[in-house]
Structure 1
């Protein structure tokens, strides 16, 4: 199978055979439900701009939005696509593929992402939102990788679950642009 970059990519089936299920779907959904109450409380009486960071945050953002609606919080949906990976496993320079169409000036923004790893992309996106005039930018991350390499100035305001400092995929996170729709989070076994 060829990737969008024109090179052969590793097989998802092979990766799953060398992986373990870290977090099952029911646990992910429970964590998302638990995140909704504090977010709804923090934005009570407002309609924040709800910015989903593509592609990874799509499954998480959809479920979180429904939970927030259940708490009576209305959202103004938009999305952005900024990446440092472009199908690779290590990041490079930030590339914007789509900027939000919604004016952010004078608005509160909730950035929704699948994972906070080192935070380079999230920090750049948050700074961009502030440069556009957003009055407040908060981050809801489904997962936060457990390590000490996070860049200064970035953290998640709302966290679903921690994940180990390993190659994780599923539930929005990819394995060479594959497996984003897996209903759980997997990690390659140590040494793989």
Structure 2
């Protein structure tokens, strides 16, 4: 059943506020600047969800004097649904990856199927190093083996989360917080 954002807000819990998210993103920047010192990595934003996080992270890294080459990709398994299906590529990066280091910026590392496929594609395109920066990491034991966030912001519970790039039925990506639907609300969907 389709619900609107007002319903989702009324039937969810605040998981992380804006100050916590801003601080966690700022805390990732020094490690990224250190690990990529001397390089200008291809900074790939995973659309749509990664956009708010990637923009903020890029500014934090830039404030440390590090340059990034921006591009984006759009690969999805969800298409507005609550569970993933087959990977669909909507846009591949235009920047050649051969011989380049890549930093993927995404909103969440959940089970990792999408990021695993993206990483494998980047390597097939000749990227020499592919790392993941994720705003949120969902806490469970279902992640694809070998997939992890090299730079992680916050942990989130194993619930339907939305905000800061993550959507609730294609709504709420612009919320500056992360919220999670209550179990009761999830049963109503």
The bucket for the TM-score relative to the shorter chain is over 0.9
**2 CA distance for matches of 1:132 and 1:150?**
24
Q: Matches of residues 64-79 of structure 1 in structure 2 within 5 Å?
A: 64-79=57-72
**2 CA distance for matches of 1:83 and 1:93?**
8
**Equivalent residue, structure 1, for 2:27:** 34
**1 CA distance for matches of 2:126 and 2:39?**
17
Q: Could you say what the CA RMSD is over the residues aligned between the two structures, in angstroms?
A: 0.8
**Equivalent residue, structure 1, for 2:164:** 171
Deviation at 1:185, TM superposition (A): 0.3
Give the TM-score normalised by the residue count of structure 1.
0.95
**1 CA distance for matches of 2:184 and 2:171?**
21
**1 CA distance for matches of 2:155 and 2:70?**
26
Which stretches of structure 1, 4 residues or longer, exceed 4 Å deviation after superposition?
none
Give the TM-score normalised by the residue count of structure 2.
0.96
**Equivalent residue, structure 2, for 1:4:** none
**Equivalent residue, structure 2, for 1:3:** none
**Equivalent residue, structure 2, for 1:107:** 100
**2 CA distance for matches of 1:14 and 1:172?**
18
Q: Matches of residues 106-145 of structure 1 in structure 2 within 5 Å?
A: 106-145=99-138
Cα deviations across residues 88-144 of structure 1 (Å, max 9, x unaligned)? Answer: 111000000000000000000000000000000000000000000000000000000
**2 CA distance for matches of 1:71 and 1:190?**
41
Deviation at 1:52, TM superposition (A): 0.2
Q: How many residues align?
A: 185
Structure 1 SS opposite 2:99: coil
Runs of at least 5 residues in structure 2 that lack an aligned partner in the other structure:
none
Aligned pair partner of 1:82 in 47, 54, 75: 75
Deviation at 1:191, TM superposition (A): 2.5
Runs of at least 5 residues in structure 1 that lack an aligned partner in the other structure:
1-7
